[in-house]
Structure 1
Amino acid sequence: MDLDGGNRRVFNRLGGSSAASPDSSKNQKVCYHWRAGKCSRFPCPFLHRELPHPSGPAAATSNGSGAPKRFADDSGFSGPALRRGPNFNNNHNNSWGRMGANKVVRKTEKVCNYWVQGNCSYGDKCRFLHSWSLGECFTLLNHLDGHQKVVTGIALPAGMDKLYTGSKDETVRAWDTNTGQCMGVINLGGEVGCMISEGPWLFVGIPNVVKAWNTQTNQELSLSGPVGQVYTMVVGNDLLFAGTQDGTILAWKFNAVTNNFEPAASLKGHTLAVVSLVVGANRLYSGSMDHSIKAWSLETLQCLQTLTEHTSVVMSLLCWEQFLLSCSLDQTIKVWVATESGNLEVTYTHKEEHGLLNLRGMPDSESKPVLMCSCNDNSVRLYDLPSFSEKGKIFAKQEIRAIEVGPGGLFFTGDGTGFRVWKWAEAVPKP
């Protein structure tokens, strides 16, 4: 039995976000320098976007099972290997952040406390927000409460009509995706540090163990070996990786004969807890409380490079096209790309006013890539890529520690008591 359960996700390239809209005056050819991330012409006579896939927009957003193709944040790169062209240089003169000055028109960025309590007397004249979001490109569909502490994981196993949420309140809850009703509660006896799904499998990280459930057969397994809390997990090369509190990355492989996950490797090198993992370009990347990122070969499981440019905890990692993105409590998002030698270097740094907790990516209603960044000021920023032009914000009463992508333009954010369901607004046809 393969770990993927016959439901291996395939992540295709989403296509770059253009700094300018295409028009008939443009040469219908993708700019070579833009693809290399260093075009200095503005305006450029060539396209700063990928040409549409021959099978149409639907092919760029669906994997055949109705679920959207996500950024390769948990199962490999969506595009070419993480490598520059022969003319690589590190002068940061590229399209990253080019249009970052474009801001969403907004009023005071503070949710009205009286509106939250249901008794604001100012109504539409109130200078504070009577909404949990800013921006017109997405809408709030539902807010489902139930957890007593912050939600740390959201997962949608393949082929299921249920969504699962894990929390520091030591429970996992199952929700009916059609009715929004809670279908059941599993008490785990330990805080949920992370939760992911791969095919029919649901993996939950708690102190000193990883719980695994096959949601189709109801098989339940306990994977021992972790020391302390399990903060992050990812699947790659038929291995399940888990980052733990003692700085070790453990790996398991599914054995079809024993119908169990068996220990495969233990990766050591970080001096403090491993809190973020991502797989891409035949590498495993790990972020740690020791402020570093390590790149590991998926074939040999040897450490290839250690990155030390962050000055605080590396909370989340994301692979998009040929780039690696990392965010940290040092209030920065760094964009990495490989030189000809294969080593990663920072090509752009985006600064925020607050520490960053989580990165997630998905295409919007126009199939353009959007980066979602949760911050420790109880908000999520949404940006177009690669321009970092702001599309909107999401607010909550407490920190938003979990973001997950769903089918049909849906996405989910988990905060202190439950989670919210959002949907991208339909694209307005151009005249």
Structure 2
Amino acid sequence: MEETITGVFDHPPSQEYVAKFTGHINTINCMIVVDDAKEAGEAFKTTYIFTGGYDHLARCFNAETGECLAVYKGHASFIFSLKIGIRMEQAKRNNETYEEPKWYLYTGSFDTTVRRWDVSTGACVCVYALEYGDVVPRLSAGIVQLVEVHKDLVYTVTPDRVLRAWNLDDGELNWEANAHTGAITGLQLREMHETETVYEVIRTPEELYTCSTDRTVRIWEPATGEPKRVLRFDTQPIYCLCVRNDGALFVGAGSSIIYCNSETGATVRSYTSRYGAVKSVFSDGE
């Protein structure tokens, strides 16, 4: 049986900062931190900060220097969510064809579209209108609140409480799921994870996680949308989640952070903040 430990956040929000990144006008709605250690190696990696804001723009900053490296301009309204996806694509050099990783930024907006950007050049390479149905005019999925990407699919969450998966190549709807009864407030893919024991290597497959104000976390099969399990919490509404590849799950429920097992939902630790609702949570594995 897992031990439950409860703690309290006593530290008020800090007024100090280590670095300042400027350029956006008005509110920043979303942010992700990415490093290229997988491709470049730890000794040569650069850490990047990607942001999206009310000014309809996304930006890329060098985390070490604060320099703005690229501005992604094209949305007609606010950017609510963004995600980095890496695809292996063919390239030519010295008359030889080979595969290299290509970085793309995906942004979801109030203008009801998802855009795919070339990270290095800032060029928009694809606009996904997110329309479906056989009758013209086709139905629109609506405002894109959350976005995630995996392999050949991009996932969106819209105000109608529906999770949808779209084909990256043609933008057509692949599958949709509408099991949540409250607003969907978090969306994250957990990559495949391998755990070595003395006797075997245990492989945990990829899973797609959503959380909701209906106080549940739902886990889906990424390729098909098949529901796998539901974790129910006797808490305040859930506003965010973070799942690690090793199976540790963190949810922000009201003013608390709950650290639990992603298979069973059993609580390992919980922490309560005295400074309002928890709207974002992140774990670096430590």
> Which TM class, normalised by the smaller chain length?
0.5 to 0.7
SS of aligned partner of 1:285: strand
Distance in 1, Cα, partners of 2:60 & 2:13: 32
Q: Write the letter of the residue equivalent to 1:359.
A: V
CA deviations over 1:153-196 (Å, ceiling 9, x no partner): 23458689975321123222344665624754625221111111
- Select which of 242, 256, 279 maps to 1:318: 242
After TM superposition, list the pairs within 5 Å mapping 1:161-200 onto structure 2: 163-175=49-61, 178=65, 180-181=67-68, 183-184=70-71, 186=73, 188-199=75-86, 200=103
Distance in 1, matches of 2:35 and 2:125, equals 15
Say which structure is richer in strand: 2
Amino acid at match of 1:205: G
Q: Residue 201 of structure 1: CA displacement?
A: 0.9
- After TM superposition, give the deviation of residue 356 of structure 1 in Å: 0.2
Q: Indicate the SS of the match to 1:360.
A: coil
CA distance in 2 between partners of 1:264 and 1:214 (Å)? 24
Deviations 1:96-145 (A, max 9, x none): 56xx58x99x8xx477xxxxxxxxxxxxxxxxxxx516xxxxxx1x2122
**CA positional deviation for 1:237:** 5.3
1:271 counterpart residue number: 181
Q: 1:308 to 1:172 in 2, by over 3 A?
A: same
- Deviation, 1:324, is 1.5
1:206 to 2:109 alignment: yes
Q: 1:344 aligns to what?
A: 265
Q: Given the two structures, how large is their TM-score scaled by the length of structure 2?
A: 0.67
Deviations 1:199-239 (A, max 9, x none): 21101110221111133573521222263332222233543
User: Percent same amino acid at aligned positions?
Assistant: 16
Helix, strand or coil at the partner of 1:265: strand
1:8-407 mapped onto 2 (5 Å cutoff)? 89=1, 92-93=2-3, 109=12, 132=16, 140=18, 142-155=19-32, 156=34, 163-175=49-61, 178=65, 180-181=67-68, 183-184=70-71, 186=73, 188-199=75-86, 200-207=103-110, 208-216=112-120, 218-225=123-130, 227-236=141-150, 238-255=152-169, 260-280=170-190, 281=204, 282-298=206-222, 300-309=224-233, 311-320=235-244, 321-328=246-253, 330-337=254-261, 343-353=264-274, 354-362=276-284, 369=286
- 3-state SS, counterpart of residue 324 of structure 1: strand
Would the alpha carbon gap of residues 194 and 227 (structure 1) be closer, same or farther in structure 2, given more than 3 Å must change?
Answer: same
Map 1:416-427 → 2, pairs under 5 A: none
CA distance 1:337–1:301, change in 2 (3 Å) = same
Matched-pair contact (CA < 8 Å) for 1:245–1:272: no
For the residue of structure 2 that corresponds to 1:143, the secondary structure is coil
Q: Which runs of 5+ in 2 are unaligned?
A: 40-45, 87-102, 131-139, 191-203
The count of corresponding residues between Structure 1 and Structure 2 is 233
SS of structure 2 residue aligned to 1:361: coil
In 2, the alpha carbon distance for the partners of 1:215 and 1:183 equals 8
Scaled by the length of structure 1, the TM-score of the pair is: 0.47
Higher RCO, 1 vs 2 (CA within 8 Å, ≥6 residues apart):
1
Contact kept in structure 2, 1:154 and 1:195, CA below 8 Å? yes
In the TM superposition, residue 310 of structure 1 has moved relative to its aligned partner by 5.1
Q: Which runs of 5+ in 1 are unaligned?
A: 1-88, 112-130, 134-139, 364-368, 370-431
Distance verdict in 2 for CA 1:229–1:157, change over 3 Å: farther
Which secondary structure does the structure 1 equivalent of 2:79 belong to? coil
1-structure distance, mates of 2:164, 2:49: 26
- Superposed CA offset, 1:224-273 (max 9, x none): 22633322222335432222211111112333xxxx44432112212333
Report the secondary structure of 1:132's partner residue.
coil
CA distance in 1, matches of 2:13, 2:59: 30
Q: Secondary structure at the match of 1:249?
A: strand
Moved more, 186-195 or 159-168: 159-168
Q: Which amino acid aligns with 1:214?
A: D
| Structure with max Cα Rg | 1
Contact 2:114–2:128 under 8 Å retained in 1: yes
